A and B are shown apart, each in its own frame.
Chain A
Amino acid sequence: MAGNLPPGFPFKRYVEIGRVALVNYGKDYGKLVVIVDVIDQNRALVDSPDMVRSQMNFKRLSLTDIKIDIKRVPKKKTLVAAMEAADVKGKWEKSSWGRKLVVQKRRAALNDFDRFKLMLAKIKRAGVVRQELAKLKKETAA
């Protein structure tokens, strides 16, 4: 948001045209969408390269740090071009939030056998760490 906000203002991500948000409820769960217009106090017009432009309640959206430069209600072509220019996809995949989502998805899709192999790997890693720790402890004790 333009203008100097008082220091200590709690909000950093604002609803504005061009704000990229993550859908957290409903049919489009997990999609990244761009706020393209604000309808009223509760709803926004939202668009994405792979969906039909539609309205969404703000409660269904989680705002992200990413913002793109568009005018109010751009054409689909303009929107896609703006998203490419701002590299929304790349920024998202590099962000810690984006990376966490990938890990969550992978963990949810683990097989029973995969979970077993994961347990063995964790035990192995913990063993190695403990050995190193024991070595370091001995050195400092000596």
Chain B
Amino acid sequence: MAPKQRTRNPELIPGVRKVSRSQMYHKRGLWAIKAKNGGKFPHHEKAPAAAAVAEKPPKFYPADHVKKPLSNKRKPKPTKLRASITPGTVLIILAGRFKGKRVVFLKQLTSGLLLVTGPYKINGVPLRRVNQAYVIGTSTKIDVSGVNVEKFDDKYFAKQVEKKKKKGESEFFESEKQEKSALPVEKKDDQKAVDATLLTAIESVPDLKAYLGARFSLKAGMKPHELVF
């Protein structure tokens, strides 16, 4: 702590100071400063004020004074991946058209969704994104070191935007029929490439292919909270 500063004019009681005005003038040495400066107290010219920027009148005056919302700089992180789910884990999908299917986990995308494949030949599940919440992670693991999943990200799965051609009614009906456009060949090839290495790994384990082809269901006497997956 800095030593207490020496005050020239202590307050004796609230409102009453020790030294009078003229004594203070002498104590501060203002007479000496004046003498040094030839009878006058040194005086600086005021610095020229910065030229004010010509303000344009605003284009728009809002009718009501609406409060601006506070700025939010939060960047959400991708969902924390459960410890039981690692690349190569067999997952059981619990909802959607593939509910009950047992599927191989490949990687977690930046959006937090899990990239998953059937493989397509075995159970009809293509390269697909799945939410971690709708999945049970089993303890069965497959070796997926040979699979390259670098090129798959959320943009790969974005919906294809069709150019709008709204003209006549007849065209409208026609376009409805053609809505289901065929899968582009590249996607089919990607699927085949990923599945090729996976299939060799799967066929090396007995019964694993049949296991992935079968759907999971609860039978009588199975208690989910007691089951070990």
Contacts and interface: CB of A to CB of B under 8 A. Distances in A.
A113 B208 contact: yes
A30 B117 CA distance: 42
A117 B208 CA distance: 9
Interface in B160-193: none
B208 A108 contact: no
B228 A113 contact: no
Report the interface size class on chain A.
Answer: under 10
For chain B, the bracket of interface size reads 10 to 19
A59 B227 CA distance: 28
A118 to B, nearest CB: 11
B55 interface: no
B209 to A, nearest CB: 11
B140 A111 contact: yes
Interface stretch (B60-68, B69-77, B210-218): B210-218
A113 B226 contact: no
Interface of A: 108-113, 116-117, 120
Given A111-B228, A120-B207, 10 more contacts: A108-B228, A111-B229, A112-B90, A112-B102, A112-B227, A113-B138, A113-B207, A113-B208, A116-B210, A117-B207
Contacts of B229: 111-112
A110 B140 CA distance: 11
A116 B205 CA distance: 14
Nearest to A117: B207
Contacts of B208: 113
Nearest to B214: A116
Nearest to B226: A108
27 contacts: A108-B226, A108-B228, A109-B228, A110-B228, A111-B138, A111-B139, A111-B140, A111-B228, A112-B90, A112-B92, A112-B102, A112-B138, A112-B139, A112-B140, A112-B227, A112-B228, A112-B229, A113-B138, A113-B140, A113-B211, A116-B207, A116-B211, A116-B214, A117-B207, A117-B211, A120-B207, A120-B210
Contacts of A109: 228
Contacts of B227: 112
A116 B90 CA distance: 13
Contacts of B140: 111-113
A61 to B, nearest CB: 24
A117 B206 CA distance: 9
Interface in B34-80: none
Contacts of B90: 112-113
A123 to B, nearest CB: 11
Contact of B216 (A110, A112, A120): A112
